[in-house]
């Protein structure tokens, strides 16, 4: 699954266009490397997003094409940082 789509489906970032812009700006790392929006995400990957106020590091638990709001939080596990509401 593409990184920008995962961020949107998991609701870590609410819109795919915003997820793409964040990836293009170099603020998203996958397994310690700067990632582009089209980077393939697999179960077990570590995603780190750098925000102005801090950063969030999460592990990918599942990759689903579609997820309801209550299922979205089951797609990842926060390792460090605070989840964006």
CATH of domain 3-80: 3.10.290.10
Q: What pLDDT band is residue 2 in, cutting at 50, 70 and 90? A: very high
pLDDT at residue 85 tops 90: no
What distance in Å separates the CA atoms of residue 52 and residue 74, rounded to the nearest whole number? Answer: 26
Average pLDDT over residues 65-77: 91
- pTM, whole model, 2 decimals? 0.89
Please tell me the predicted confidence (pLDDT) of residue 80: 87
Start-to-end C-alpha separation, the chain: 23
Q: Summarize pLDDT for 15-62 with one digit per residue, the tens.
A: 999 999 999 999 999 999 999 999 999 999 999 999 888 889 999 999
User: How would DSSP label each residue in 21-57?
Assistant: HHHHTT-EEETTEE--TT-B--TT-EEEEEETTEEEE
Q: Where are the domains of the chain?
A: 3-80
Query: Which tokens in the block code for residue 18?
Result: 């915003």
């Amino acid at each position: 699954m593409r990184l920008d789509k995962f961020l949107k489906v998991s609701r870590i970032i609410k819109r795919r266009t915003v997820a793409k812009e964040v990836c293009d700006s170099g603020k998203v790392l996958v397994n310690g490397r700067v990632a582009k929006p089209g980077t393939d995400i697999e179960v077990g990957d570590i995603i780190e997003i750098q925000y102005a106020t801090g950063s969030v590091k999460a592990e990918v638990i599942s990759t689903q094409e579609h997820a309801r709001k209550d299922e979205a939080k089951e797609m990842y596990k926060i390792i460090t940082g605070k989840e964006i509401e």
